[in-house]
Structure formats: C-alpha cells, structure tokens
C-alpha cells in the first residue's frame, strides 16, 4: 500500500496482473466490452490510490475482494446510467461494503473535475505556467527559460497573477457546485 501511495509502477503492475483478468471477465459477462473493463478498473485503482494516500487504508479483507467489490459497484452504477438492465452474472466472489469509500471517491472526483475545468478556463499562458509549476513541479528557473521570461522573478509574478485568477474561478465553481 505504501508503494501505491508513492505511485510506484511496479506495485501498480502487480495489482493489475493479480486482479485485472477477474474484473475483465466479470464485465464482459455482464454486458460490457473490454474498453469499459479498462475504465472501471482504472477508476477502482484511483479509489484505492486515494485511500492509500489518505493514510487510513485498513483492509479487513483481501485486496482482491476489495477491488472486486469496488468494480462491481462501479459497474452496476454504470449499467444503471447506460440503462442497460439485466440480471448480473456473478462469479462466486465474496464482496465487502464499499459504498462509503465510493462516496468519498465521488467527492474527490467532482473536486478533480472542478479543478480541471477551472484550469481549462484560465487560458494560456496561465494554464501552462501553473501546470508546469504545480503539476509537473518544475522550478521557476526552468519555467522562465521554457516560457521565455527574462528572469525567474518575472515568471513568478506572472504565476501568482495566474493563481489569483485560478482561485477566483475555482471557488466560484466550487460554491456553485456544492
């Protein structure tokens, strides 16, 4: 789990190898295609990632069971949205309650989308500037060079201006959205 919180590729790969085939066959057996299986599994991975990052990831079941439960829930919800009804073909897998975790994930997801839309709205060069500094974690010297500012301080000033705009946009949406 620590490896997952640190975004360790080897850990991610191991989880995929152990769990993906089961989830894929579950979704293919229940009216889904392989693209949808990928989507669902990805979302489940983000759920466990968020849980790992939050630091209180205590599993009282196998990781396999947890992932299956999350994917099953997510897929049921997706089927409902797509209005594809039908009885679920279940493997004989046990499941655990994951509703709370998914609610939390749902909230994180809306925040994520809010931030993304805000970012898309501030326009260039603000978007690239903030992206480079806050998301790609580049330092100000690099950014100044990349964007053609004469020095890092000017880039920094510009960055703060952008941040003020982003903040306004984000909180305007955040208050509307919640």
Partner 1 sequence: MDEILLIETVERYLKGEMTSQEKTFFEEIRKKNPDIDQLVVEHTFLFNELDKQANIKAFKHNLYEVESKLTEEGVISKKQLTGKAKVVFLWKKYKRSIAVAASIAGIVSIVTTASISTYKSKEDNKDITYLIGEVKKTKSEVATLKRSINSNPGIQTPPNPDPSFRATGFLIDGKGFIVTNAHVVNRLKTIYVGNNKGEYFSAQAIYTDKNADLAILRITDTSFKTIYNLPYSINKGNSNLGEQIFTLGYPRKEIVYGEGYLSAKSGNEGDSTAYQLSVSVNPGNSGGPVLNKRGEIVGIITSKNSTADGVVFAAKSKNIYKLLESLKDKGDTVTIKLPNNTGLKGLDREQQVKKMEDFVFMVVGN
Length of the chain: 178
Token couple for 119: 């970012």
How near is the Cβ of 92 to partner 1 at its closest, in Å?
Answer: 22
Selected from 55, 56, 97, 137, the binder of partner 1 by CB under 8 A is 137
| Cα 168 to Cα 156: distance, rounded to the nearest angstrom | 19
Q: Where are the alpha helices (DSSP H) in the chain?
A: 2-5, 9-29, 34-54, 63-82, 99-121, 126-130, 140-147, 152-177
The HSE-up count of residue 70 (CA atoms within 13 Å, CB side) is: 30
Q: Which CB atom, from 4 or from 79, has the smaller least distance to partner 1?
A: 4
* Residues 149-178, mask of contacts with partner 1 (x by CB under 8 A): -------xx--xx-xx-xx--xx-------
How many positions of this chain bind partner 1 (CB under 8 A)?
42
| Cα 153 to Cα 159: distance, rounded to the nearest angstrom | 10
How near is the Cβ of 7 to partner 1 at its closest, in Å?
Answer: 5
In the complex, which residues of this chain contact partner 1 (CB under 8 A)? 7, 9, 12-13, 16-17, 20-21, 24, 33-35, 37-38, 42, 45-46, 49-50, 53, 108, 111-112, 114-116, 119, 130, 134-137, 156-157, 160-161, 163-164, 166-167, 170-171
């Amino acid at each position: 789990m620590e490896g997952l919180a640190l975004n360790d590729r080897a850990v991610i790969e191991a989880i995929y190898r152990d769990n993906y085939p089961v989830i894929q066959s579950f979704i293919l057996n229940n009216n889904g295609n392989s693209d949808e299986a990928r989507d669902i599994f990805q979302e489940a991975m983000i759920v466990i990632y968020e849980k790992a990052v939050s630091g209180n990831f205590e599993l009282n079941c196998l990781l396999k069971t947890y992932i299956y439960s999350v994917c099953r829930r997510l897929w049921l919800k997706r089927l409902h949205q797509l209005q594809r009804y039908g009885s679920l073909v279940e493997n004989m897998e046990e499941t655990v309650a994951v509703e709370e975790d998914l609610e939390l994930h749902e909230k994180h997801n809306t925040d994520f989308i809010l931030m993304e839309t805000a970012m898309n709205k501030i326009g260039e060069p603000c978007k690239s500037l903030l992206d480079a500094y806050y998301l790609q974690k580049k330092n100000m010297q690099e950014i100044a060079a990349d964007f053609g500012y004469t020095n890092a301080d000017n880039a920094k000033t510009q960055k703060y201006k952008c941040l003020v705009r982003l903040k306004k946009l984000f909180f305007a949406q955040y208050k509307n959205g919640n």
